[in-house]
Amino acid sequence: MIKIGLTGSIGMGKSTTAAMFAARGVPVWDADAAVHRLYGPEGAGAEAISRLFPSAVTADGVDRSVLKAEISRDPSALKFIEAVIHPLVAADRAAFVAEAEASGATAVLLDIPLLFETGSADQMDLVVVVSASPEAQRARVLARPDMTEAQFETILTKQIPDAEKRARADIVISSETLDSAEVGVDTVIQHLSESQDA
């Protein structure tokens, strides 16, 4: 089974593109959604965080605002959080892949925002980067509620630059428009079909 790693910087249209793959029958695993599940009530992530920062966990699961405050107060806290959460996310992803393979899927899409940053790209058979112009990216991000220029710039400094992601990709999908993204997704699907027939 082919594992497609999908990534892209903030505002590049990655989630929209992932939904296009799902609409074409490709099982999609979302790293952010997995963390959300793990941080929920009774989630393994909430249990792990409660051992590190009891004040960050309530009956509703992990309170991300408290967790962010802890990281702001002590940046080294992030390393401890990642050390307990990353293995849980990896296990969730492995279970998804195994279930998809057992159900007969020939490919899965793994939507991972920090694909390169976490070294996960090496575990993929195909790396797809979603990209758009800096102008489109900025407009999309600043249209989000409560997003400021300063926050946007801070996020960008923490992500591998778009140009580097594109250089490291097997395939780049342009999300400048919905139509260009659809064409890109169809190209990847066609590529998969040809490689499986070969």
What does the pLDDT read at residue 195?
75
For residue 97 the two structure tokens come to: 């892949």
- Return the number of other C-beta atoms located less than 10 Å from residue 162's C-beta: 22
pLDDT for residue 194: 81
- Using one digit for the tens of pLDDT, what is the confidence trace for 121-142? 999 999 999 999 999 999 999 9
Q: Specify whether the CB–CB gap between 26 and 108 falls below 8 A.
A: yes
Instruction: Report whether pLDDT(198) > 80.
Output: no
Q: DSSP letter at 173? A: E
To 5 degrees, how large is the angle CA 122–CA 14–CA 34? 70
Structure pTM?
A: 0.89
pLDDT at 196 over 90: no
Summarize pLDDT for 17-61 with one digit per residue, the tens. Answer: 999 999 999 999 999 999 999 999 989 999 999 999 999 999 999
Rounded distance between C-alpha atoms, residue 15 and residue 28, angstroms: 10
